Structure 1
């Protein structure tokens, strides 16, 4: 974080190097899922992992504070503050966090563990679903201000505030998705959230008035994507072997990041070509429909009895 804030933004190559380092730090999420999972009985893991996943709310904090901090105190200010918070947390983690009793320490080499993880059907199933759910959340948290400014003529400040509301609702719904997964099963929750994503994408593709239809569509998307993200990791905890949970989580988390990277590029390209976001939203609906069909058929059969 200090590298990016102090030197890593001087060129594209330096920024890419900083992104690589931040990606290494981001593996804390892959570490945290099996860590949290091990402390709770199966009937409470969905909610526990959902609460853990609320850390994605950092996106909202960043959106609301970064530009203001840079304008007031310079480019390095938000990075210095973040680094200080990370240092405090590192001390707290070292003093307070402990592995769950009875944790088995893996002995296999990294390459062999990764290869066996990639051979698991669960890895690819959950990766595809997380690319839709969390990837959709990331994509909208990045692109929504541009969409609102271009499509509805909002100011930068108004668009940023609405994006923050989108993110906060998604964050709040993540533990709800985990809690529901504990009670009715993650497959049903994922299925329900994909139905909402499909419906909201189709509604918004017609470019309705922002108030109230457009706002309702985006808030529905936020709620569904947040709950779906929580349910996917509840599904991972249900289907992945205990000794592969961390590895599977790492791959699934990477898929979510990639899922959030592609849609803004597609949306921008389509708008530049056709002057409309309708086709991009229809593509989102098509992806949600494909994921819904797969979840309601094959994945449902996979999860029976679990």
Structure 2
């Protein structure tokens, strides 16, 4: 069940990230400004994020066996539209809006995986599932290369075929835990109850910083590398894929560490490392080995942080509310990734420099680390 959920998450995230590697090409093709280019790649992020709220609540009620194949099939439609029919800024914004549906499957998989594992193993299990966010790496590695080697719509055609295949397989093989707790009441009443829980808002803030940082880099790093350091698009896409792969690989590590020590301590350390590394990145020295190490260090910190946040979800949230809470927390994480690319685009458009953007990241990570060390530490210690 864990393998099926992880594969489904990776494939739908692959679809969700299709536009990001093409940002530079779309800018030339459609004569976009830096802000418009950022908007095109950011729209699927915000829609996929907000969409996790109803999808998480529906998963609590309907189960993953219904939700995974349904969302996979629905995502095929915008994928094909973008590959064959979108030819303007408005067209790509509309297609990107519906492509955001692919980003909602996170809220399906977390409660599903959580239900199959005992508390002492949930950190690692959720970390392994979370590694499915490596679907963005598949996109970074393959989209530009396949479009140039074959034909422009081929990456979209391939993803559509793969999603249909997964929908069929998952409907036949996925099984919800027989004794899973199905919540009562309407979706709106359950959502209102979820929003009244203080832990929902606390975890949402932390995930907005950790996962939001990952999403922002995976979306905007190709643009940063081409504009600031003059790399070719293919080279920038491959380097971004390396960043994503490391962050993905470290997510299970964050969950594993959280199973063996306090997850709030793991998260505090991750935010502390991110603060220091973001300050280092603000000094715009050439793209040498040292600068590469700085960016890879940020990838590792973000990956560990995302794993630790959902170890906290498994520890602090009642089982019957995990889907609803995951929807809200996951939405916050995606929204956290929506704004930084826009900020970076505006900063570069006005100053032709990214220093301010990295300093803002450092300040945000510092606040999140202090909040974790004080407020979340107290909640974990008391079990409240």
Q: Provide TM-score, normalisation by structure 2.
A: 0.76
SS in 2 for 1:304: helix
Q: Which residue in the other structure is 1:4 paired with?
A: 78
The alignment status of 1:213 with 2:290, answered yes or no, reads yes
Using a 3 Å threshold, how does the CA distance of structure 1 residues 26 and 205 change in structure 2: closer, same or farther? Answer: closer
The alignment status of 1:186 with 2:186, answered yes or no, reads no
TM-aligned CA deviation for residue 274 of structure 1? 2.1
SS in 2 for 1:210: coil
CA distance in 2, matches of 1:238, 1:222: 25
CA distance in 1, matches of 2:137, 2:102: 19
The alignment status of 1:151 with 2:228, answered yes or no, reads yes
1:2 touches 1:80 (CA, 8 Å); kept in 2? no
Q: Which residue in the other structure is 2:165 paired with?
A: 88
CA distance in 1, matches of 2:173, 2:240: 34
Q: How does 1:261-272 map to 2 (within 5 A)?
A: 261-272=338-349
Q: Which residue in the other structure is 1:236 paired with?
A: 313
Deviations 1:16-51 (A, max 9, x none): 444443334433211110110111111110000000
Q: How does 1:119-198 map to 2 (within 5 A)?
A: 119-198=196-275
Using a 3 Å threshold, how does the CA distance of structure 1 residues 23 and 268 change in structure 2: closer, same or farther? Answer: closer
Q: How does 1:64-103 map to 2 (within 5 A)?
A: 64-103=141-180
Q: Which residue in the other structure is 2:365 paired with?
A: 288
1:47 touches 1:182 (CA, 8 Å); kept in 2? yes
What do you get for the CA RMSD once the two structures are aligned? 1.7
2:206 touches 2:309 (CA, 8 Å); kept in 1? yes
Deviations 1:40-68 (A, max 9, x none): 11111000000001111111111121122
Q: Which stretch shows the higher mean deviation, 62-71 or 278-287?
A: 62-71
CA distance in 2, matches of 1:60, 1:269: 26
Q: Which stretch shows the higher mean deviation, 6-15 or 268-277?
A: 6-15
Q: Which stretch shows the higher mean deviation, 268-277 or 3-12?
A: 3-12
2:81 touches 2:95 (CA, 8 Å); kept in 1? no
From 248, 252, 258, give the equivalent of 2:335.
Answer: 258
Q: Provide TM-score, normalisation by structure 1.
A: 0.94
Q: Which stretch shows the higher mean deviation, 208-217 or 260-269?
A: 208-217
Deviations 1:63-105 (A, max 9, x none): 1211222234434322221122122222222222211231122
CA distance in 1, matches of 2:149, 2:290: 36
The alignment status of 1:44 with 2:44, answered yes or no, reads no
2:134 touches 2:248 (CA, 8 Å); kept in 1? yes
1:66 touches 1:78 (CA, 8 Å); kept in 2? yes
Q: Which stretch shows the higher mean deviation, 53-62 or 156-165?
A: 156-165
TM-aligned CA deviation for residue 305 of structure 1? 4.1
From 109, 134, 140, give the equivalent of 2:186.
Answer: 109
CA distance in 1, matches of 2:80, 2:116: 38
Deviations 1:125-175 (A, max 9, x none): 111111111111111111112222222232222222111110100010010
CA distance in 1, matches of 2:331, 2:79: 24
CA distance in 2, matches of 1:16, 1:108: 36
* Aligned residue-pair number: 306
2:200 touches 2:328 (CA, 8 Å); kept in 1? yes
CA distance in 2, matches of 1:20, 1:152: 30
From 108, 132, 137, give the equivalent of 1:55.
Answer: 132
